[in-house]
Amino acid sequence: MNINSLQRGSYTIRELMAVWISRQIRDGEVVGGGGGTLAIARAGQLLAHLHHGPNMRFLSLVSMNLHCCPSLSLSLFESVADWRVSRWAEAYWIPSEIYDQLRLFRKRVLFISGIQIDKYGNVNLFGMGNDFRNLDFRGPGGLGAATGTTYAGRYYIFAASHTPRVFVERCDYVTCVGWGEGGKEARRKLGLPGGGPVACITSLCIMDFDEETKRMRLKSVHPGVSISEVIENTGFRLMIPPNVEETEPPTIEELEILRTKVDPEGLLRGSD
């Protein structure tokens, strides 16, 4: 993809994605995770906190329940394991204790990524290939995603690139169940307490799920992206409703907070 085509007016697609993520988070909710590879999601969370979420809590992988503060910028600590982030901690627990308090996950909003994503929002992080002992492509592994998506109040799927290789008819392996084989009862039948995936954001568009079938459905396309571009880059038959909006661009206020406080170094303004 041509980098220049990602520039839409005065903001980048990565900034647009961060702003969209920020708008999904409500005040008082619990967010967390996200390392260097998920800079966009991390930026969206920090932006939400500074823009409209004074009561948000940030559950860091270094295990602090953090009420973050305005000086916590995106590039400050590149490693998730950097303990210096604890200077903003209000609580402190060891990582295994996070999994001793899964009730907290009901208030949690999660953002996950995948090497394959199917039409029911199931996600593969393991790898691609028929033989698991001899994969064609080994993915990063499951991290905490299976447990997180089982319990999180709701979650969002995030794809930095939108290609038919990522959006597939069926995942080779399922690391996180979204809507399984489809239907709004899919998760209840499996006994999964969390609310499941509600939307998917990519470099081209926003997709949500049909209320009954739980199939992925186009919701909005980013400025300058055509519906046919999305269809061509999706490996399954995407539901296209009669009205597809354009993803709402960032407001001046959001961009100002994003650029001056969250991302002063411009990580999201660089190329993908």
Nearer to other proteins, 20 or 120 (CB): 120
The residue among 138 and 237 lying less far from other proteins, judged by its C-beta, is 138
216-221/245-246 β-pairing = parallel
Q: Which residues contact 108 (CB under 8 A, 6 or more apart)?
A: 29, 30, 31, 32, 59, 148, 151, 152, 153
> Exposed (0-12), middle (13-18) or buried (19+): which is 78, by Cβ within 10 Å?
exposed
User: How big is the chain, counted in residues?
Assistant: 272
Which CB sits closer to other proteins, 141 or 241?
A: 141
Site string for other proteins, 56-95 (x = CB under 8 A): -----xxxx-------------xxxxxxx-x-----xxxx
Which of 27, 90, 136, 232 is close enough to bind other proteins by CB under 8 A?
Answer: 136
Question: What is the distance between the alpha carbons of residues 63 and 83, in angstroms, rounded to a whole number?
Answer: 9
- Identify the sign of the CA torsion 46, 36, 199, 99: negative
Contact by Cβ (8 Å): 203, 28: no
Lay out the site mask for other proteins across 170-189 (x = CB under 8 A, - = otherwise).
Answer: ---xxxxx--x---------
Residue 9 or 191: the one with the smaller Cβ distance to other proteins is: 191
103 binds other proteins (CB under 8 A): no
| C-beta of 126 vs 167, nearer to other proteins | 126
How many whole angstroms from its chain centre is CA 163? 17
Contacts with other proteins in 148-167 (CB under 8 A)? 148-151
Q: Counting contacts by CB under 8 A, is residue 270 touching other proteins?
A: no
In this complex, which beta carbon is closest to other proteins, that of residue 140 or of residue 223? 140
Task: State which of positions 15-54 bind other proteins (CB under 8 A).
Answer: 35-37, 39
* Torsional sign, CA 230, 152, 69, 38: negative
d(CA 255, CA 11): 8
Q: Does 168 bind other proteins (CB under 8 A)?
A: no
Q: How many residues bind other proteins (CB under 8 A)?
A: 55
Binding-site member from 6, 104, 146, 239 for other proteins (CB under 8 A): 146
* Rounded Cα gap, residues 223 and 4, in angstroms: 14
Tell me which residues touch other proteins (CB under 8 A). 35-37, 39, 61-64, 78-84, 86, 92-96, 99, 124, 126-127, 132-151, 173-177, 180, 190-193
